[in-house]
Amino acid sequence: MVNPLPEQLWTILMALLSGAACGAVYDVLREIRLVVGRRWLELLLDALFSVLVAAILFVLVAGISQMRLRGFMPVSMLAGGILWSATAGRLLRWLLRKCGRMVKTGSMILRGVCARFARPLRNHRKNREK
C-alpha cells in the first residue's frame, strides 16, 4: 500500500501556487479595467480570467492529480488567492496603481504635445485652401 500523503501535499502546494498566480493575474486585469474604464473591456477581461481559472483547474486535475478532482483543490486555490491578496498582492497593486498613473499622465502629456504640433498644421492647411 502506497502512502498518498506526499501526493496530496504536492497537489495542495500546486493548487496554492495556482491560486496565487490567479490572484496576480486578477490584480493586473483589475488595474487595466480601472485605467481604461470601458464596460465592454471589463466583460472581456472577466471572461478571459474565467477561462484562465478553468484552464488552470483543468491542468491541476488532469496533470497533477491524475484525473482525480479532490475537494481540497479548489479550496487550496482559493486559499492561495487569499494569501496572495493579503501579502505580495498589496505591493503589486500599489506598483500597478503607480504605473497606471504614470502611463495616464504620460499619455496626457503626449496628447498635449501632439495637439500643439497639429494646430499649426491645421491652420496652414486652412490658409492654403483659402
Position 129 scores a pLDDT of 64
pLDDT at residue 47 tops 90 = yes
Query: What pLDDT digit, counting tens, does each position of 67-83 carry?
Result: 677 778 888 888 988 88
Distance of CA 1 to the CA centre of its chain: 43
pLDDT at residue 37 tops 60 = yes
User: Cα separation of 76 and 72, whole Å?
Assistant: 6
* Residue type (1 letter), 78: L
Position 44 scores a pLDDT of 93
What domain range is 59 assigned to?
A: 4-127
Give this prediction's pTM: 0.68
Task: Quote the mean pLDDT of the chain.
Answer: 83
Position 64 scores a pLDDT of 72
Percent of the chain with pLDDT over 70: 89
| CA torsion, ordered 35, 38, 43, 45, to nearest 10 deg | -30
Residue 61: DSSP 8-state: I
Number of domains in the chain: 1
Closest CA relative to residue 65, chosen from 102, 14, 116, 114: 14
